[in-house]
Structures are given as structure tokens and as C-alpha cells.
């Protein structure tokens, strides 16, 4: 009799597989208030590593971290017309504080453009104060009607960057810099997720932006996930909040602004990009635990050896965990590490010791073979880099294999509904075709230029729309 699978197979029911994996790998639980989530230690460990890698890139881009309040006066949101229209339906409103009804209700931030501009307008006086480059790691709240853990949650964790610049060009270039050198670099080189970099159509733009740059990843079921966005805000918010500066020439000028965000949704993207029927597969450069050293049995020589291997690998710069919980059956522990997607398992039992070897099980490339214990410290960094590259290749191959070039709106919808993406000339599709697709829950994920770069305007000649269903 075949063993019952640990997870619902992907091919049977992808959303169910996703939820199973999150439960069994102990990544998260649903919170008691609808749409909220509890991020468990292993899931939070993934997010912490994302934060570290992102934070280093954000700082390298010159932005400094700061913290703005959770509570925003309701009136602030109404100052930018499109912004309030976009966010009003999703707001959580605090009406009582300290046992009393508040004179003005406050909203829990859905994003911080408004409150941050209130301070930018005080801090920015002269051209010398620009560019002002701020980032914030915070929780935000957007009331979700159809919540799904990590992907759409009422509360989520994210970073939001907010900047002010002296000129349109400087703001535009900075938004593009974040898009390419922070987000794409992180997603491709750490998350090992292939992303298409493009420009949102006016319909899909952030509420209050004049241009939204996006990174779209293809998940295991062929649907798209918006992994992060970088917006040019033009002078929309600086007008609303009077964020002006005195130029070198002595004139009062409006500041040009950007904002950009990425969130715990990336954890969902990680799962749906790299997971398989045995569980998660974590790219080595991200993995909080890159290698686990398992004692098969609790005898003293084995326990001493796994600890020694752990120390040697740590010294070689590998993030290691030693699993010496031999009161839990070995098989159960092995399945658990597989579920959690730790890239490499090193298994040591009494017979291995005699032979001077350990079993090396590779979660990403697959396979299991004996290797000499002395060679592990040299071998592992190479194995991990191989596996990192393999994950990115698999992600890229999938996107290429499941994207087709089409020339009609009907074909585009068919491709999307068959679990893939379509490329269609934007001149053929247009905003009307986009509206037709929307009726079938198919959307333009982004526009790309003819040469694959990011279009510089909404109507760049030769631009191609990438179309698909999305999370």
C-alpha cells in the first residue's frame, strides 16, 4: 500500500496544496480576526532573512529607515482624490480610544503616503534637503474580503519607501533604480524567482501614482503574483500636502516623489514558485537553515559526530542546524525537514560513522548519496550555489514554457485560462480589450517594451502586454 501523501498534490488542487503546506511546514496560522495571520517561527525566519537582504539593498540605495504612526487622521486620506477612492473601501477605523469616542476617527494605515507627506512638507525646505530618501518596515491594514494567508491578509508586514526629489527625472530614475537594483536583484538573486519587469497599465496603477513599475512572477500553477511595485507619484501628493522647496534659483517648487513596497506576500510567492508535492524548497541564499545535520540514532558517537559536523560547517560559513532530537523517529524528522524545504540534509548513523561517510540528501536537485565527512565543508558551499541556480532556472523555464504569443483578445483569455501567460501587442489589446479580459478575471500584468525593457510611457510604440490570471 502506497503511503498517503503528506500534502494534497499540486495537480489535484493547487490552492489546497498551498494551504496544506503552510499548515504542515508550520509557516503560519489564520488569526482570530478574519483575514489576519499568525506568522510562526519558521515562516517568520524566512521573512527575517528577506528583511535582512532587502534592508541591505535599500540602505545601499541611500534610503534611511524611520517610523511613522500607525494611526492616520481620517481627513488626511481625503486630500489626494484618487488615493482615497482606492483605499476607502479597505480601511479599518478606530472610533474609540481610552474609553471615549474620538472627536475625529482615525484610520489604521493602509499605506503611509499621506502621513509621510505631512512630515516631508515640514522637513523639506531647500533644494539642499533633497533627495529625501526614507524607508519604513511596518504593519499595514487593508480589510480583505477574500483573504488568503501571505497573499491577501487584512494585516501584513512590509517595507514602504517614500522619497522626495527636486526634479521629475531624478524621481523617475530613483523609482527605476529601486525596481531594478533593489527588487529585481533581490528576487532573482536571493529568492531565485524569475520576474518580468514592466509598467502597469493606467487601470492597474497604484491609487495616486502617475506610473507604477511592477515585478511579476509566475507561480507553479501558471498564475501571476505581483511581487513588488515602485511608483512615480509625480507631484500628486506634494500638491495635496504642499511639499515644496526653495530651488537654487530662489523659486518655490513642488517636490517630485516616489513610493515603493514589498511585503510578506513574497513568502507566498516563494512557496508557490518553488514548492512541490513534498513541501517547500527554500533557495539556499535565503534559507535561515541551509543544511540540517541529523542524528539517525541517539548513540553517543553519532551525537558527537553530528555536533562536530555542525560546528565545522558553521565555521565554513554555512547556516546549519543540528537535529539531535532522537526521541522523535528519524523518518518523521526527515519528512519534516523536507516539508520545510531545507536545501540539504546530512544524515549520520552508526554505519555511516564506520565508513567515515554521511548521507547527503539534496532537497532541490534531488537525490541522496554517501559523501566523505571530511569533504563536507568544501562540498556544501558548491552544492548550495548549484541548487540556487537550479531553482532560478526552473522558475525561468516555467515562465518561458507557459507564455505564448497571441494576436487576439480571445487567444489571450484562452492562454490565461489554460494556466499560463500570453503576450499580445498593446496596440491590439488596448484599454477596451483589457476591460473585456477583466470580465473573465484576466488582467494585464504589465507592459513591456519591444526589446523586453520597461516602457517609458503608457503608449510607447511596439509595447507588449503580458496577460494572465493573478493572485
* Site residues for its own copies per CB under 8 A: 29, 31-33, 36-41, 44-45, 47-48, 64-73, 76, 88-99, 105-106, 108, 115, 118-119, 122, 128, 134, 138-139, 141, 143-145, 154-155, 157, 327-328
Q: Would you state the cell numbers that stand for residue 137, as one nine-digit string?
A: 518596515
Pick the closer one to its own copies by CB: 128 or 393: 128
Q: Measured at the alpha carbon of residue 62, what is the angle toward residues 60 and 65, in degrees to the nearest 5?
A: 100
Q: Would you state the cell numbers that stand for residue 400, as one nine-digit string?
A: 518561458
Shortest distance in whole angstroms from residue 125 CB to its own copies? 13
Shortest distance in whole angstroms from residue 332 CB to its own copies? 12
Shortest distance in whole angstroms from residue 279 CB to its own copies? 19
Pick the closer one to its own copies by CB: 144 or 253: 144
Shortest distance in whole angstroms from residue 114 CB to its own copies? 10
3-state secondary structure of 29: strand
Pick the closer one to its own copies by CB: 68 or 237: 68
Instruction: Choose among 120, 53, 109, 125: nearest CA to 77.
Output: 109
- Neighbouring C-alpha atoms within 13 Å toward the C-beta of 99: 0
Pick the closer one to its own copies by CB: 271 or 467: 271
H-state helical runs in 136-259: 168-177, 185-189, 236-241
Shortest distance in whole angstroms from residue 136 CB to its own copies? 9
Pick the closer one to its own copies by CB: 156 or 256: 156
Shortest distance in whole angstroms from residue 57 CB to its own copies? 16
Strands (E), 211-308: 211-218, 224-234, 244-246, 252-254, 256-263, 291-295
Shortest distance in whole angstroms from residue 63 CB to its own copies? 9
Pick the closer one to its own copies by CB: 25 or 39: 39
Pick the closer one to its own copies by CB: 14 or 47: 47
Pick the closer one to its own copies by CB: 153 or 226: 153
Sign of CA dihedral 366, 371, 377, 378: negative
Strand partners, 323: 294
Residues in contact with 118: Cβ distance below 8 Å, sequence separation at least 6, in sequence order: 76, 241
Strand 155-165, strand 256-263: pairing: antiparallel
Instruction: Choose among 363, 187, 397, 167: nearest CA to 277.
Output: 363
Q: Would you state the cell numbers that stand for residue 241, as one nine-digit string?
A: 500636502
Shortest distance in whole angstroms from residue 93 CB to its own copies? 4
Host H or E run for residue 77: helix 74-77
Q: Are 70 and 108 in contact (CB under 8 A)?
A: yes
Amino acid at each position: 500500500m502506497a503511503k498517503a501523501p503528506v500534502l494534497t498534490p499540486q495537480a489535484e488542487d493547487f490552492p489546497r496544496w498551498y494551504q496544506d503546506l503552510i499548515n504542515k511546514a508550520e509557516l503560519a496560522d489564520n488569526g482570530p480576526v478574519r483575514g489576519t495571520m499568525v506568522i510562526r517561527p519558521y515562516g517568520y525566519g524566512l521573512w527575517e532573512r528577506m528583511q535582512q537582504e532587502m534592508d541591505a539593498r535599500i540602505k545601499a540605495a541611500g534610503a534611511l529607515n524611520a517610523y511613522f504612526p500607525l494611526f492616520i487622521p481620517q481627513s488626511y486620506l481625503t486630500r489626494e482624490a484618487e488615493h482615497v477612492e482606492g483605499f476607502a473601501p479597505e480601511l479599518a477605523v478606530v472610533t474609540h480610544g481610552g474609553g471615549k469616542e474620538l472627536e475625529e476617527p482615525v484610520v489604521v494605515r493602509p499605506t503611509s503616503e499621506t502621513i509621510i507627506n505631512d512630515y516631508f512638507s515640514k522637513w523639506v525646505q531647500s533644494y539642499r534637503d533633497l533627495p529625501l530618501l526614507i524607508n519604513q518596515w511596518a504593519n499595514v491594514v487593508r480589510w480583505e474580503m477574500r483573504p488568503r494567508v501571505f497573499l491577501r491578509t487584512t494585516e501584513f508586514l512590509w517595507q514602504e519607501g517614500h522619497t522626495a526629489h527636486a526634479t521629475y527625472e531624478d524621481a523617475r530614475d530613483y523609482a527605476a533604480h529601486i525596481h531594478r537594483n533593489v527588487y529585481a536583484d533581490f528576487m532573482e538573486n536571493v529568492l531565485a524567482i524569475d520576474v518580468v519587469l514592466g509598467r502597469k497599465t493606467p487601470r492597474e496603477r497604484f491609487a495616486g501614482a502617475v506610473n507604477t513599475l511592477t515585478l511579476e512572477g509566475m507561480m507553479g500553477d501558471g498564475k501571476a503574483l505581483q511581487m513588488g511595485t515602485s511608483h512615480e507619484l509625480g507631484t500628486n501628493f506634494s500638491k495635496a500636502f504642499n511639499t515644496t522647496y526653495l530651488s537654487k534659483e530662489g523659486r518655490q517648487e513642488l517636490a517630485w516623489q516616489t513610493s515603493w513596497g514589498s511585503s510578506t506576500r513574497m513568502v507566498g510567492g516563494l512557496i508557490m514558485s518553488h514548492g512541490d508535492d513534498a513541501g517547500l524548497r527554500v533557495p539556499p541564499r535565503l534559507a535561515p537553515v541551509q543544511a540540517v545535520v541529523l542524528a539517525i540514532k541517539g548513540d553517543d558517537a553519532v551525537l558527537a559526530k553530528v555536533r562536530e559536523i555542525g560546528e565545522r560547517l558553521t565555521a565554513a560559513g554555512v547556516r546549519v542546524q543540528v537535529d539531535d532530537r532522537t526521541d522523535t523517529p528519524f523518518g518523521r524528522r526527515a519528512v519534516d525537514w523536507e516539508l520545510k524545504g531545507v536545501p540539504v540534509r546530512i544524515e549520520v548513523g552508526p554505519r555511516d560513522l564506520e565508513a567515515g561517510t554521511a548521507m547527503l540528501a539534496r532537497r532541490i536537485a534531488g537525490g541522496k548519496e554517501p559523501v566523505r565527512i571530511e569533504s563536507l565543508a568544501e562540498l556544501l558551499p558548491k552544492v548550495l550555489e548549484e541548487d540556487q541556480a537550479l531553482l532560478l532556472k526552473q522558475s525561468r523555464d516555467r515562465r518561458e514554457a507557459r507564455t505564448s504569443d497571441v494576436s487576439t483578445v480571445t487567444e489571450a483569455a484562452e492562454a490565461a485560462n489554460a494556466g499560463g501567460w500570453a503576450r499580445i501587442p498593446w496596440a491590439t489589446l488596448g484599454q477596451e480589450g483589457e476591460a473585456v479580459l477583466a470580465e473573465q478575471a484576466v488582467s494585464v500584468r504589465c507592459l513591456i517594451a519591444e526589446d523586453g525593457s520597461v516602457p517609458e510611457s503608457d503608449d510607447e510604440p511596439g509595447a507588449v502586454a503580458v496577460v494572465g490570471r493573478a493572485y
